[in-house]
Amino acid sequence: MKFDLDEVLANMLGAAKDSLKDNWEFAKGTAVDFLQSRKERIDLLTSLRLSNQLSEKFFLARLQDEKKIFTSELHALAVITKVMAQNAANAAFTVLEKAVAAALGIK
Amino acid sequence: MERIIKIKLRTKAISSSLFFISFFLLQACRVSLVPTYDAALQTQIENAAKMTDKLYLEMMNAPTAEKNYALYSKSYLDIEVEINSILMKNEIRSNAGDIVASVKTLKTYFEQAKKDHADRQTLSNAEFLIYNEQLKALWKPVLLEEIALSKVK
């Protein structure tokens, strides 16, 4: 029954890192997309207000709504982050499981 | 001497048993921070977002005399039913707190946009445009949350 804890821990860390790398682009792309869309909406909102197509009251109310949109986007980023954390933790556990199974001679 | 051998064997047996037990415990120990992905729910979200966009585009393209709330009340209701259904499905999922919060924000905003149209009877194209853009921005996190769940390994 051979079980090298240092080696297993290093492999677990490696598996977690690879998993985080896989999901990083999705998280980054989503955050950039949220920021870009916000910029475009605020540009549109401002230009419609400046050209008097929106009342002051409507403009200010929709500007307040941008805060709600931002909060919702943060929730989405939280879900993405949780998925990344879950994948990383489970990838590390899989390595540990395999190492223990190998030490016990279980296939 | 015989006693020492017995003790050593017993110790080995205990440590092997503990190793076995920890192996099976490890197998049961999977981290779960988010709900399970639901492909049907993703389709429902995509369709409801499409219905919302269609409603606002129709209202924007209609002549001024045909932008009245009464003409679109059924479409508003259909979308509201979809949002409520998406909310309910998420409320009964475990670990779905963030998703529920996003759907609730969308629901509140949609109700507010609907009420504004109903109270004032008609809105300008600029107002419809802003409502549509902000609604798209509120549908997007809800959809991305479900897409993120499909990336669980």
3-state secondary structure B17-40: HHHHHHHHHHHHCCCCCCCCCCHH
pLDDT over 70 at A107, yes or no:
no
| pLDDT tens by residue, A11-30 | 889 888 888 887 889 999 99
Report pTM.
0.86
Predicted pLDDT at A21: 84
How would you label B107-120 residue by residue, b for 16+ Cβ within 10 Å and e otherwise?
bebbeebbeebeee
d(CA B147, CA A83): 11
d(CA B137, CA A44): 14
Chain A interface with B: residues with Cβ < 8 Å: 1, 19, 23, 26, 30, 34, 37-38, 41, 44-45, 48, 53-54, 58, 62, 65-66, 68-69, 71-73, 75-76, 78-80, 82-83, 85-87, 89-91, 93, 96-97, 100-101, 103-104, 106
On the CB side of A106, how many CA atoms lie within 13 Å of its CA? 13
Q: Which residues in A lie closer than 8 A to residue B19 (C-beta atoms)?
A: 1, 100, 103-104
For testing contact with chain B, the best of A22, A25, A49, A83 (most B CBs within 10 A) = A83
Angle between helices B125-149 and A5-50 (to 10 degrees): 170
Nearest by CB to residue B105, choosing from A23, A41, A68, is: A68
Cβ of B99 under 8 Å from any chain A Cβ?
yes
Q: Which residues in B lie closer than 8 A to residue A36 (C-beta atoms)?
A: none
Structure tokens at B6: 């017995």
Closest listed residue to residue A47, CA positions, set B130, B145, B6: B130
Q: Which residue has the higher pLDDT, B9 or A9?
A: A9
> Which residue shows structure tokens 């039913």?
B81
Task: Give the pLDDT band (50/70/90) at residue A104.
Answer: confident
Do the chains contact at B130 and A71, CB–CB below 8 Å?
no
Count other C-beta atoms under 10 Å from residue B4's C-beta: 8
| pLDDT tens by residue, B105-143 | 999 999 999 999 999 999 999 999 999 999 999 999 999
Q: Which residues in B lie closer than 8 A to residue A91 (C-beta atoms)?
A: 153
- The pLDDT tens digits along chain B (153 residues) read 677 777 776 766 666 666 666 656 666 678 899 999 999 999 999 999 999 999 999 999 999 999 999 999 999 999 999 999 999 999 999 999 999 999 999 999 999 999 999 999 999 999 999 999 999 999 999 999 999 999 999
Count other C-beta atoms under 10 Å from residue B55's C-beta: 20
ipTM value for the complex: 0.88
d(CA B60, CA B121): 14
